[in-house]
Amino acid sequence: MTPPDRIGHWVHQLLAQEHQHVHLTLTRNRHSMIRFHRTSPRDCTLRMHEQFTRAPDNVLHDLAAFIVHKDPVAWKRVAAFARTIEVDPKTEKPKRNQPRKTKGRYFDLKRELELVRTRYFTNSPEAEITWGILRKSRRRKRRSIRFGSWHENEKLVRIHPLLDQNWVPIEFIHYLIYHELCHAVAKPETSESGRNRIHHRAFKDLESNFPNLKAMEKMTTDIFKRLCKEGC
């Protein structure tokens, strides 16, 4: 029996023996290995990483026990298995063929990256940096803007191009770079529920070393509001 057929048989058994209808989706999610949601006493949705198709029988038994009986001990064993899952790089999304652009109209990101690495890190993390691509929001009114992001596979910091403006403080650019480099140092942790946590305690402790952190966090909101007023 192939792994997917094995899982299909497991789902069928739950329906036949326990009258539990499981709507199953296998994923290649890099951050959440398993997610369960009950929609009715007899129906639930289950999203889990495709590597669960190769889980030992006792793990699937524990998962069934949690679905049917809400057994918290069984769930902890399932979560423990989820923490052992290592994502195969071949299954990850291919890198976007995006040229690196570091010089903007007002900020040279390469220069600012080196300044932040030298000023705030003893063991400077390997990293490159680029401005992102400006895309129009599909919504009439933006709900959020992702000012910065860290891409582990590329060792790359990406900064939103809307920030390349003369009224944006250089300290805010430094803060964003520092925040993303903290992700390079304080890697994601897997919780007992099997979910990856990126802003965990070690990350927050490292981030707290940045000067005037509270002011920078407030500035994030202020800059977002100004950009929205300007119709960005």
CA distances in angstroms from 16 to 2, 22, 120, 125, listed in the order given: 21, 11, 59, 53
pLDDT per residue, tens digit, the chain (232 aa), is 566 788 888 989 888 888 999 999 999 887 788 989 999 999 999 999 998 988 899 999 999 999 999 999 999 888 888 888 776 555 545 455 668 999 999 999 999 999 999 999 988 889 999 999 887 766 566 778 899 999 988 899 999 999 999 999 999 999 999 999 999 999 888 766 556 678 899 999 999 999 999 999 999 999 999 999 887 7
Would you call 121 exposed, middle or buried from its count of C-beta atoms within 10 A (0-12, 13-18, 19+)? Answer: middle
**The residue type at 121:** F
Q: What is the pLDDT of residue 31?
A: 73
Residue 98 CB partners (closer than 8 Å, separation 6+): 130, 133
